[in-house]
Chain A
Amino acid sequence: AQSVTQLGSHVSVSEGALVLLRCNYSSSVPPYLFWYVQYPNQGLQLLLKYTSAATLVKGINGFEAEFKKSETSFHLTKPSAHMSDAAEYFCAVSEGTGGSYIPTFGRGTSLIVHP
């Protein structure tokens, strides 16, 4: 069984500040982990993914995430927020090889960026 917890339904930052969106997961097998972004009135778009290669994963738009097995975490960060980063962010886990390819999504975190 797999599950995802995103801490904080809303995160508010100032433009130029560090962005940190938290994601913790549980999985019975080595996981594949994903972050997706959803801009208003659009579908989800893949931001980055971890598939058991490097633990620090770089994605689009300056975002990155670090897989920490001991903490079962996959937090998303960006050094400097931009107004255009305002969106809904979803963390997802799949069970990887030998497990279900169907992801489980977190409930989402809305990122608000203030000027």
Chain B
Amino acid sequence: DVKVTQSSRYLVKRTGEKVFLECVQDMDHENMFWYRQDPGLGLRLIYFSYDVKMKEKGDIPEGYSVSREKKERFSLILESASTNQTSMYLCASSGALAGLYEQYFGPGTRLTVT
């Protein structure tokens, strides 16, 4: 079974804090993704990575950065958290062996910025 884990299920941070969200997958997938999910807006892609140390901007990268130092780990960083970044954050992975186009998701991190 593919497993994607996220470091926290719930997180509360203050405005201006630096926030790290971590994601780990155990299926040797090449591709990893970060989405945010907001009611009525569906999933919006923030960043993705197709290889170690490689990253590409998604649809809404502003205010975020990412890091992929190891194949199994993909981190999302909020340099200075703001209240409009309060959201559900979902990590996903996909790979050629498992089916390049289908994604496997983590349980999500619900981030509240006060």
Contact = CB atoms under 8 A, between A and B. Distances in A.
A53 interface: no
A44 interface: yes
B100 A102 contact: no
Nearest to B106: A43
A36 B104 CA distance: 10
Interface string B79-114: 000000000001010100001111111111010000
A93 B77 CA distance: 28
Interface residues of A, number: 22
Contact of B107 (A34, A42, A102): A42
B102 A41 contact: no
Interface string B16-43: 0000000000000001010000001111
B74 interface: no
Interface string A33-76: 01010000111111001010000000000000000000000000
Contacts, number: 52
B1 to A, nearest CB: 12
24 contacts: A34-B101, A41-B107, A41-B110, A43-B4, A43-B92, A43-B105, A43-B106, A43-B107, A44-B90, A45-B105, A46-B103, A49-B99, A49-B102, A90-B42, A90-B43, A101-B31, A101-B94, A101-B100, A101-B101, A103-B101, A103-B103, A106-B42, A107-B40, A108-B42
Interface of A: 9, 32, 34, 36, 41-46, 49, 51, 90, 94, 96, 101-103, 105-108
